[in-house]
Chains A and B, each alone.
Chain A
Amino acid sequence: MTREPILTARGLVKRYGRVVALDRTDFDLYPGEVLAVIGDNGAGKSTLIKAISGAVTPDAGEIRLEGRPVHFTSPMRARDAGIETVYQNLALSPALSIADNLFMGRELRAPGLMGKIFRKLDRKEMERIARDKLSELGLMTIQNINQAVETLSGGQRQGVAVARAAAFGSKVVIMDEPTAALGVKESRRVLELIRDVKARGLPIVLISHNMPHVFEVADRIHIHRLGRRIAVIRPSDYSMSDAVAIMTGAMEPPDAPAAERADGAGP
């Protein structure tokens, strides 16, 4: 099976002063797959996905979406290109409502003169779509879509952030530790959501420290260490403790990334 990756990065470098957060790292995401990214704290996982999603501009390297080089200068650009991201800090505005947050930066304007001249928002439509999206994803039973996000529990907030990305992503959905703050039940729900999104044919990048979660949903695992991708493995080929050992440097990474062998689509 020779498929082209939908999203690739080659030689990404990002420095913060003397800290090298990304050290010539590569990245490949194939259509329809769930790719987990694991690595120690500070390994550069968040920086990697921020570079891909336009939130930080890499110092060097190249990113291609569907084969074409892209240069995202802001998260908005990446979003316009169909890449949606759930950031580690969720990127929600606590005082604003669920609907406002879902549509932040892509608000709908009312039809006719009110929208054109007075730039009036189409509140009703935004609320309707927000309600639809949330229930379509089976995520929650909403009583009040106008509730401020800060009145939600941590898990509910994470649900809103995940729903936003899942609802609007058209090419790639990236989730940076979407289950970090969640209880057992809520985590299950997010994992199911990841499967739902995958079933819609969208590839997902999942960053997580939770090995059981990773091994449960991932098709491939990208292992990040000291700012670089040191291995890509398939969960079926390795145990959780092997993956952790590679991640922490206790075990030599396998020579050729296993997944590339399996896909037959090398860099």
Chain B
Amino acid sequence: MSERDARDAEGYGEGLATRSGDVATFDGQGHSLLDAIQHKLHARPEFVPLIVLVVSVAIFGVVLGSKFFSPFALTLILQQVAIVGIVGCAQSLVILTAGIDLSVGAIMVLSSVVMGQFTFRYGLPPEIAVLCGLACGALCGMINGMLVALMRLPPFIVTLGMWQIVLATNFLFSANETIRSQDIEAQAPILQFFGEKFNIGGAIFTYGVIALFVLVLVLNYALNHTAWGRHVMAIGDDPDAAELAGVRVARMRISVYTLAGLICALAGWVMIGRLGSVSPTTGQFTNIESITAVVIGGISLFGGRGSVLGMLFGALIVGVFSLGLRLIGTDPQWTYLLIGVLIIVAVAIDQWIRKVAA
């Protein structure tokens, strides 16, 4: 106390003399190249995965030639990552609020089963069944959100529980029964809509791939250019500060988890297109794969930093490695090994970027 006073008394006259606002000159602190890079990455966290993606495509392109570097092979990667990418969008939203959603894969599968069984078991028009499936996903997400936001339970625990609950519901409800592709094709082709392909000069796209791109762009817009998106980031940054600054944190959390559930249901619909059939046993690893895409994509698990574009690049990196290494003919374990290394490197880079704080 006395020390503080003394210091203050000293500064008295001097302070009064310098009235001009030299409190703060907000110059960039970047002096060395490394500092500049750190600041750049701080502002655009999706740059690292983008560079890794471009470099890995280039390397596989050089090594494998046209076998890899062809419209067909490259768009095959897109088709293969569409589902993980869409689920990754849901995961990104949740992780940006400093949460995590382990139930994404289970919600996706249950929603697809609802779409299938409502059509084939209950005879609903397939369009209505699709809506029911989407509603089912949103409802599961909303339950997650309410438990996290209102009961203040940790997201990890809530979604760990929901993962088991939703998966068990899925097996009980579907009676472990697969709906065959031919039946869907004959009676409810709309369920396979996202699997439909079209060819642009050897590049083969599905509507699922288009859905992924549209979703990423829409979310990127929403996160960066709407108040809702700014609030998502603020909650991930510091929920108490956000609340005091006027963000309705609980309501926002519920909206984020609900939207995540809805997006998972969309992924379920896309999955029917990709598989052709409705199978209650697929998608067991989707939660881990989506978290992998998010982390490699440079989104911080501590929340508040990152972009869905980064997540898309992350998902594509995994797709490029998988296909590239398979074409080279290595043991698939090499893929997992490399992905593991990438995850750890990505988190290390995230920690480094966060140190930019003065």
Question: Are A and B subunits of one complex?
Answer: yes
B-facing residues in A105-120 (Cβ within 8 Å): 105-107, 109, 118-120
Residues of A within 8 A of B24 (CB): 139-141, 152-153, 155-156, 159
A62 at interface (Cβ–Cβ under 8 A)?
no
By the criterion CB–CB under 8 Å, are A151 and B42 in contact?
yes
Number of residues on chain A facing chain B (CB within 8 A): 55
The segment out of B9-17, B141-149, B185-193, B202-210 that lies at the interface is B9-17
Looking at B59-67, B115-123, B131-139, B222-230, the stretch in contact with chain A turns out to be B222-230
Contacts of B15 in A (CB 8 A): 184-185, 187-188
CB distance from A48 to the nearest CB of B (A): 15
Q: Which residue of A lies closest to B11 (CB)?
A: A184
A93 and B23 form a contact (CB under 8 A): no
Are the CB atoms of A140 and B25 closer together than 8 Å?
yes
Q: Are B228 and A105 in contact (CB under 8 A)?
A: no
- Quick check: A185 and B241 within 8 Å, CB to CB? no
* A150 and B357 alpha carbons, distance in the complex (Å): 5
Residue of A nearest to B355 (CB): A150
> What is the interface residue range for chain B against chain A?
35 or more
Alpha-carbon gap, A153 to B242, bound state (A): 20
Report the Cα distance A212→B304, complex, angstroms.
39
Pick from A96, A188, A211: contact of B5, CB under 8 Å: A211
A76-B248 contact given A96-B234, A141-B21, A150-B357, CB 8 Å threshold? yes
Does B356 count as interface, using CB distance less than 8 angstroms?
Answer: yes
B329 within 8 A of partner (CB): no
Q: Which B6-37 residues have C-beta < 8 A from chain A?
A: 7-12, 14-16, 18-29
Cα separation A239 to B350 with both chains bound (whole Å): 53
Cα A186 to Cα B21 with chains together (Å) = 9
Q: Report A-chain residues with C-beta under 8 Å of the C-beta of B14.
A: 184-185
A 94-143 contacts with B by CB, 8 A:
94-96, 100-101, 104-107, 109, 118-121, 123, 138-143
How far is A24 from B162 in the complex, measured between Cα atoms in Å? Answer: 45
Contacts of A147 in B (CB 8 A): 26, 28
Cα A211 to Cα B23 in complex, Å, equals 22
The answer to whether A120 and B242 have CB atoms under 8 Å apart is: no
Report chain B residues within 8 Å CB of A142. Answer: 26
**What sequence of 0s and 1s flags, for each residue 75-103 of chain A, a beta carbon within 8 Å of any chain B beta carbon?**
11001000001010111111110001100
Per-residue CB proximity of A193-215 to B under 8 Å, as 1/0? Answer: 00000000000000001111100
- What's the Cα separation between A58 and B131 when bound, in Å? 45
Q: Is A148 an interface position by the 8 A CB rule?
A: yes
When distances are taken between beta carbons in the complex, the residues of chain A under 8 Å from B231 are 104-105
Q: From residue A136, how far is it (CB to closest CB) to chain B in Å?
A: 11
CA distance A24 to B304 in the complex (A): 40
The answer to whether A186 touches B23, judged by C-beta atoms less than 8 angstroms apart, is yes
Q: Hey, which chain B residues are within 8 Å of A89, CB to CB? A: 240-241, 244
Contact flag A185-B11 (CB < 8 Å), given A141-B26, A143-B25: yes
Set B8, B22, B42, B234: member contacting A213, Cβ < 8 A: B8
Could you say which residues of chain A place their CB within 8 Å of the CB of B237? 93-96
CA–CA, A192 and B16, complex, Å: 9
Across the interface, B22 reaches (CB within 8 A) one of A76, A79, A185, A212, namely A185
* Chain A residues, CB < 8 A from B22: 141, 185
B243 at the interface (CB under 8 A from A): yes
Q: Which residue of A107, A139, A187 contacts B8 across the interface (Cβ within 8 Å)? A: A187
Contacts of A10 in B (CB 8 A): none
Q: How far is the CA of A213 from the CA of B356 in the complex (A)?
A: 33
- Report yes or no: A192 in contact with B19, Cβ–Cβ below 8 A: yes
Contact across chains for A105 and B241 when beta carbons are under 8 A apart: no
- Please state if B28 and A140 are interface contacts (CB–CB under 8 Å): no
Closest residue on chain B to residue A191 by CB atoms: B15
* Contact B21–A138 (Cβ < 8 Å): yes
Q: Please measure, in the bound complex, the distance between the C-alpha atom of A188 and the C-alpha atom of B14, giving whole angstroms.
A: 10
| B245 interface residue (CB < 8 Å to A) | yes
Can you add 6 more A-B contacts, CB < 8 Å, to A141-B22, A144-B26? A89-B240, A94-B304, A96-B237, A107-B227, A156-B24, A187-B15
B residues at A contact (CB < 8 Å): 1, 4-5, 7-12, 14-16, 18-29, 39, 42-43, 221, 225-228, 230-231, 233-234, 236-238, 240-248, 304-305, 356-358
What are 29 A-B pairs at a CB distance below 8 A? Answer: A75-B244, A90-B241, A91-B242, A91-B244, A93-B233, A93-B234, A93-B241, A93-B242, A94-B238, A94-B357, A95-B237, A95-B304, A95-B305, A104-B245, A107-B230, A139-B23, A139-B24, A141-B21, A143-B27, A150-B356, A150-B358, A153-B24, A156-B24, A159-B24, A187-B11, A189-B21, A189-B23, A209-B1, A212-B5
